[in-house]
């Protein structure tokens, strides 16, 4: 089986970490006997400078024609690239898992939660009017949008610890109260799930003081964006976190972090992007019904865990001195040892 993956190298540390993650995927694919055809779909700040637009039509065509999209972080053009693609491809669910990793020093241990962020509405819909004396952004929530993301979160909760927290700000904004009400309505279809709702400010507090109380957190678009960087801090580094943007048809996979213009790409942590590739392979396995992709995903996750547990090949964000390439090399060694044994 051969799959076609469109990839967006992106900006800043993007091309570096995407290049390394692709090498890891190709390696595991070769060991397990499947093929990946990578199709480059340039987008981002650099592309805008070169050709005048951040997401050229040819790139969009490649993205629409692929089995999956593998994206690195872009820079200041994030709105025109990723926020646009989420709507254009109707990628209504942004899934962001956070778990404590073995060997990583953090004040928190044993964290295992999933943020399910609505991905196409809310203030990020981009309906705005800004003049010299005013600025207005519309907060848009539709029944259809809230229902489908709630259903997705509940379905995922039923495969986990069966607990769902609906995060909102319904005490101040009626739009968010609507989001909560629709979610609670859908939850009646899932009596086995323990459902609660919580104001976002309290959720931000609980996330730091008692993160273990959460299993699946369902959030509107903007709160999910903010809470996921907070959750990333709890598990050690933004450089370790991955996410899926999925809809009924397409899947686009990217790390949670941005282009990190403040660091040398040679020392960027590539593990977030590598774990992103594992998330993509898992989704492809489900979609294509081919177990080899699931095995590839598991192998990558296991290799990353082994590397972190060993604690010797770490980039500076994790307190180490290693280069991104060295991290990739060590991940490959672990993959080899797991597939070979």
Residues that bind ligand NAI (CB under 6 A): 13, 73-76, 78, 82, 238-239, 254, 257-263, 268-269, 272, 317
240 SS3 class: helix
The tokens describing 245, both together, are: 């943007």
Helices (H), the chain: 14-32, 45-51, 57-64, 78, 84-88, 143-158, 174-187, 200-209, 221-234, 271-288, 291-310, 324-340
Residue 41 interacting entry, from ligand NAI, Mg ion, none, C-beta within 5 to 8 Å by type:
none
C-beta of residue 188 within 8 angstroms of C-beta of residue 109: no
Q: Is 144 a catalytic residue?
A: no
- CA 72, CA 34: separation in Å to the nearest integer? 23
Nearer to ligand NAI, 9 or 165 (CB): 9
Q: How far is the CB of 242 from ligand NAI (least distance, A)?
A: 11
Candidate segments 70-78, 222-230, 232-240, 297-305, binder of Mg ion by CB under 5 A: 222-230
Tell me how far apart the alpha carbons of residues 334 and 185 are, in angstroms, rounded to a whole number. 46
How many CA within 13 A on the CB side of residue 1? 14
Residue with Cβ nearer ligand NAI (9 or 258): 258
Instruction: Write out the two tokens for 48.
Output: 């805008």
Indicate the length of the chain as a whole number. 341
With CB under 5 A as the contact rule, the residue among 45, 122, 225, 326 that binds Mg ion is 225
CB-CB contact of 185 with 144 (8 Å): no
122 binds Mg ion (CB under 5 A): no
Q: Which is nearer to ligand NAI, 12 or 220 (CB)?
A: 12
Q: How far is the CB of 120 from ligand NAI (least distance, A)?
A: 15
Q: One of 229, 290, 305, 325 is an active-site residue; which one?
A: 229
Catalytic (active site) residue 80: no
Active site residue 229: yes
Strands 216-219 and 112-118: parallel
Nearer to Mg ion, 241 or 313 (CB): 241
Pick from ligand NAI, Mg ion, none: which does 225 bind, CB < 5 to 8 A by kind?
Mg ion
Nearer to Mg ion, 70 or 293 (CB): 70
Q: Is 124 a catalytic residue?
A: yes
Active site residue 45: no
Q: Which stretch binds Mg ion (CB under 5 A): 21-29, 224-232, 261-269, 276-284?
A: 224-232
Catalytic residue among 27, 92, 124, 267: 124
What 8-state DSSP symbol labels residue 79?
Answer: I
User: Is residue 215 part of the contact set for Mg ion (CB under 5 A)?
Assistant: no
Instruction: Name the active-site residue from 26, 201, 205, 312.
Output: 201
CB of 119 to ligand NAI, least distance (A): 11
Contact 261, 75 (CB under 8 A): yes
H or E stretch at 252: strand 251-255
Give whichever of 198 and 222 is closer to Mg ion, judged by the CB atom: 222
Angle formed by the axes of helices 271-288 and 324-340, to 10°? 40
Residues carrying an active site annotation: 124, 169, 201, 225, 229
Residues that bind Mg ion (CB under 5 A): 225
């Amino acid at each position: 089986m051969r799959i076609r993956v469109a990839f967006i190298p992106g900006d800043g540390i993007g091309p570096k970490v995407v290049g390394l993650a692709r090498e890891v995927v190709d390696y595991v694919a070769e060991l397990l006997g499947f093929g990946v055809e990578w199709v480059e779909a340039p987008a981002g700040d650099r592309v805008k400078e070169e050709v005048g637009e951040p997401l050229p039509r040819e790139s969009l065509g490649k993205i629409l024609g692929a089995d999956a999209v593998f994206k690195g972080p872009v820079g200041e053009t994030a709105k025109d690239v990723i926020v646009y693609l989420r709507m254009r491809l109707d990628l209504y669910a942004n899934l962001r898992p956070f778990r404590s990793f073995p060997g990583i020093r953090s004040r928190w241990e044993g964290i295992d939660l999933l943020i399910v962020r609505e991905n196409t509405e809310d203030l990020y819909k981009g309906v705005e009017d800004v003049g010299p004396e005013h600025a207005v952004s519309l907060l848009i929530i539709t029944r259809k949008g809230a229902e489908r993301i709630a259903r997705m979160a509940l379905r995922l909760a039923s495969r986990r610890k069966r607990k769902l927290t609906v995060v909102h700000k319904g005490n101040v904004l009626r739009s968010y109260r609507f989001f909560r009400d629709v979610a609670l309505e859908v939850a009646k279809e899932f009596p086995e799930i323990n459902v609660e709702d919580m104001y976002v400010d309290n959720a931000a507090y609980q996330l730091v003081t008692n993160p273990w109380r959460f299993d699946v957190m369902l959030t509107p678009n903007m709160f999910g964006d903010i809470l996921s960087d907070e959750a990333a801090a709890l598990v050690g580094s933004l450089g370790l976190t991955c996410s899926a943007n999925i809809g009924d048809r397409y899947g686009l996979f990217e790390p949670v972090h941005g282009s990190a213009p403040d660091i040398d790409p040679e020392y960027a942590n590539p593990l977030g992007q590598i774990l992103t590739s594992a998330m993509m392979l898992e989704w492809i396995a489900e979609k294509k019904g081919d177990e080899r992709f699931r095995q590839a995903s598991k192998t990558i996750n296991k290799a990353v865990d082994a590397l972190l547990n060993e604690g010797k090949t770490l980039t500076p964000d994790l307190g180490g001195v290693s280069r991104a390439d060295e991290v990739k090399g060590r991940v490959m060694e672990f993959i080899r040892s797991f597939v070979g044994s």
